[in-house]
Amino acid sequence: MIDPALTTLMRMLMRAGLRQAGRLIRKPSGAILTLVMLVMVSFGLIPSLVFAWTSEDPSHSIFATLLTGSIPLVMYAMAAAMIVTGAGDSLLELRPPELQFVLAGPFTNSHILSYRLLTLLLGWIPLSACLSLFMLPYFGSFLGGFLCLALGGPFIVLISFQYTLVKPNLSSVTIKAIRWISLLSLLVVALETSRSLWNADEEYSVAMISQSINDGWVAQCVSVPFLPFAKLLHGEFSVRLLLNASICTGLVALVALCCYQTNSGFAELAVEGVARRQKKLERIRGGNVYGVSSRKMERVRRVPVFGWFGGVGPVAWSQIVMAIRRTGRLIPAVVFVGVVAAVLAATLMRVDPNVLSSVQRSYAVPIALAASAYLGFLITMTAQTGFSANRRLLTWYQMLPIQPISIAIGMVAGTGLLLVALQLALCLPALVVTSQSWIECASLFFAGVAFSIAFASTINFVSATTGLRPMPQGTPDVFQGARAMIYMFVLAIALIPTILFGGVMAGLAGAMLGLSWTVCSIAAGSAMLSLQPILWWFAGERFVQSELDGD
């Protein structure tokens, strides 16, 4: 199925990656970073293992029950999203050196497709094992959770592959019909959920909302192919687990067989994908991250010049301007949508004051802040501001006569602006419907701003100390997805001390002064901000010295 020369290529790529990691570890900074990462991974992994081994039946927790019930629909939503967005096109891409080697050799389309699938599988299996260990308290067994992740991920990817391979043979009308059907099915699921929640007599809860989502007729129909994967989660080693694993393996093999039967144009798709990726990278490097049309665009300076402030002002100004140019009209559009949503919410509350319960109104602002944190994470992964920008855009910062910590502080401004704008936009409708006082809302917003600053500082810290980037640098690489997941994994680990310290200080303040939103929010925000100078100093020093280290 795969030529020995392609297996040799994979082996050489893996050895090159290991050599690069070895060179990084042999440096003092790399060794310290590796040690810190191992300690943090241990802190996250040991509690999961202890809880899984000491709990009598962790798989019967409310989270485990919701996870099992929602997995099929979540998998369908992921597959539908990959079809609508055309994610399979990017997954099929090979980098230019590989294309020169692969296309020059006597390899068939099946050989090249096998090579691409194996490279993805080699990265996905270790990641599935790590996720299974972290989620072990909510799985029935490590084997069941590992099989669910190891088989479910390739099943979704193969569905996207199949759509991408047959798309050139379909008419434009058929392609649009497939995409619209995928979108409309998710919309119908949302409408069914809304109707079920509207007609519900009991109080809202996580279990009730999850049941409303999964009990719809359309939701049950689209989830059928993914049900065997969910049954693997809570299965102990038994004949039933082996039966479900066999069914899942058969489904994966069936879709893979269909891919091999329709892979006649795989080489051409790979070449087109590389050209498309290179064009996109050039557009991103030029600052047009979201593909905003450059016609009739004027580079007019709308951001007032800041003061010197020890060198922080000029760096912050440049980062804010870069963030505005990279995101186009995203920030004003988000704020405008927030204002419109606030007006609609105010009108709805005036027409029907009882449309939301008191509990829902009291948690409106925290929910808005949580949603803004999630959206902010997605946007900042593509905005590429601060130390996560392309290296060629950062070189001149190293030549500025500014202290390293001042550069690091100014680098937070671009990402911080995006996150705070999102928080403001989502909090506007929440402020209209909330039953909390203005003092409580202000303290919650302060905690949200503190978290945004901490998040932006952590992104810069990870990028400056590890050299990792959320977006691909250089030529397209078959391991781009794996590196992006490693970046997100390292970023999550680096956030743990800040979040943990903020939570501990909020708990102590609540114990001493009384539990309230105001006390806990101010304590958590102040605690998170107090740790940021350490990150700024370390990231700034590492950034300034990186050229001397040869990075």
Write out pLDDT tens, residues 199-219. 777 666 666 777 777 777 888
Contact by Cβ (8 Å): 325, 287: yes
Residue that finishes a domain, picked among 251, 273, 295: 273
* Same domain flag for 234 and 122: yes
Higher-confidence position of 127 and 62: 127
Tell me the two tokens of residue 289: 């991250």
Residue 140 covered by a domain: yes
Residue 287 covered by a domain: no
* Same domain flag for 63 and 46: no
* Same domain flag for 125 and 199: yes
Residue-level pLDDT at 446 = 92
* Same domain flag for 311 and 265: no
Residue 199, CA distances (Å) to 203, 357, 478 in order: 11, 14, 49
H/E element holding 205? Answer: none
Candidate from 17-26, 299-308, 500-509, 518-527 with smallest mean pLDDT: 299-308
Max distance between CA atoms of the chain, in angstroms, equals 74
CA–CA separation, 455 vs 383, rounded Å? 14
Mean pLDDT on 7-13: 81
Residue-level pLDDT at 454 = 92
* Same domain flag for 437 and 454: yes
Contact by Cβ (8 Å): 116, 158: no
Q: Identify the band that residue 294 occupies on the pLDDT scale cut at 50, 70 and 90.
A: very low
Residue-level pLDDT at 548 = 40
Using only C-alpha atoms, the chain has a radius of gyration, in whole angstroms, of 25
Residue 307: burial class (beta carbons within 10 Å; 0-12, 13-18, 19+): exposed
Residue 233 covered by a domain: yes
Residue 177, CA distances (Å) to 84, 126, 160, 163 in order: 11, 37, 16, 13
Candidate from 68-82, 179-193, 475-489 with smallest mean pLDDT: 475-489
* Same domain flag for 239 and 346: no
* Same domain flag for 79 and 31: no
* Same domain flag for 117 and 176: yes
Q: Is 482 helix (H, G, I), strand (E, B) or coil?
A: helix
Query: Residue 311 — left, alpha, or beta (φ > 0 → left; ψ -120 to 50 → alpha)?
Result: left
pLDDT above 90 as % of the chain:
8
Mean pLDDT on 3-16: 80
Domain containing residue 338: 306-546
Average confidence score pLDDT of the chain: 78
Residue 456: burial class (beta carbons within 10 Å; 0-12, 13-18, 19+): buried
Count of structural domains, the chain: 3
For the whole model, what pTM was predicted? 0.57
| 330-351 helix and 312-327 helix, angle to the nearest 10 degrees | 70
Residue 289 covered by a domain: no
* Same domain flag for 199 and 342: no
Residue 352 covered by a domain: yes
Residue 291 covered by a domain: no
Residue-level pLDDT at 522 = 92
CA–CA separation, 99 vs 104, rounded Å? 8
* Same domain flag for 63 and 8: no
Residue that finishes a domain, picked among 249, 273, 297: 273
Q: Identify the band that residue 443 occupies on the pLDDT scale cut at 50, 70 and 90.
A: very high
Tell me the two tokens of residue 172: 């434009």
Residue 502 covered by a domain: yes
* Same domain flag for 195 and 313: no
Most confident of 93-102, 117-126, 164-173, 438-447: 438-447
Mean pLDDT on 64-69: 62
Residue 432 covered by a domain: yes
* Same domain flag for 206 and 162: yes
Residue-level pLDDT at 64 = 55
Residue 377, CA distances (Å) to 130, 366, 495, 496 in order: 22, 17, 12, 15
Candidate from 33-37, 259-263, 476-480 with smallest mean pLDDT: 476-480
Candidate from 115-119, 180-184, 315-319, 424-428 with smallest mean pLDDT: 115-119
Find the Cα–Cα–Cα–Cα dihedral 454, 544, 284, 87, rounded to 10°. Answer: -60
